[in-house]
Amino acid sequence: MQRVTVTLDEDLIAELDRFIESRGYQNRSEAVRDLARSGLRQAAEAAGEGEDAVGALVYLYDHEARNMSKRLTEAHHRHHDLSVCTLHMHLDDAQCLEVALLRGPTRSLRHFSEHLIAERGVRHGRLVLVPVEARAGGPAADPGGHGHGHGPGHHHHHDED
């Protein structure tokens, strides 16, 4: 590790110290490292950088909206290469919450999520992304491709909508 000296004004130091205390960090260095990583990740996402990611798409919808369940199921089927699994929860007579776990290229995850959230009947939605590093032979090593039980090495790509 390298030592870096940074000058911060009193107000920012006070805010940083409150953050450290509220999160239970042992020292300022740990907190600043985490904040720097988070800021760099956000900047990369905003710039459209970042290769592969895993994500959680959380959305609330009116299940009584016209063909809502069918439209959501079809959206997930059209993007089966991104959709890992979905958790469904009934909130009341009309509302459901779903959490869809996704994996794939960051751009594709955002594209799918934006379209699903824009569906008529979806009231709220948010995507949380976590970047993953591609490892040799792993699913992230072949962005956009994946197997369907056709045997080892059989991969193909899907076009985005």
- The string of pLDDT tens digits covering residues 130-140 is 888 766 655 54
- Topology of 52-145 in CATH? Alpha-Beta Plaits (3.30.70)
Domain 10-46: state its class: mainly alpha
Domains of the chain, residue spans: 10-46, 52-145
Indicate the average pLDDT of the chain.
Answer: 82
Q: Put the strands of the sheet holding 83-90 in their side by side order.
A: 83-90, 95-105, 52-62, 122-132
Give the per-residue pLDDT at 154: 42
One-letter amino acid for residue 134 of the chain? A
pLDDT over threshold 60, residue 57 = yes
Q: Residue 60 and residue 62: Cα distance in Å, rounded?
A: 7
**Highest mean pLDDT (candidates 4-8, 36-40, 54-58, 156-160):** 54-58
**β-sheet bridge partners, residue 59:** 98, 125
* Residue 82 neighbours by CB distance under 10 Å: 24
Q: Do domains 10-46 and 52-145 have the same CATH topology?
A: no
pLDDT over threshold 80, residue 88 = yes
Lowest mean pLDDT among 49-58, 97-106, 112-121, 132-141: 132-141
Q: Residue 58, exposed/middle/buried by CB under 10 A (0-12, 13-18, 19+)?
A: middle
Give the per-residue pLDDT at 157: 53
Q: Read off the pLDDT of each residue in 18-31 and give the average, rounded to a whole number.
A: 91
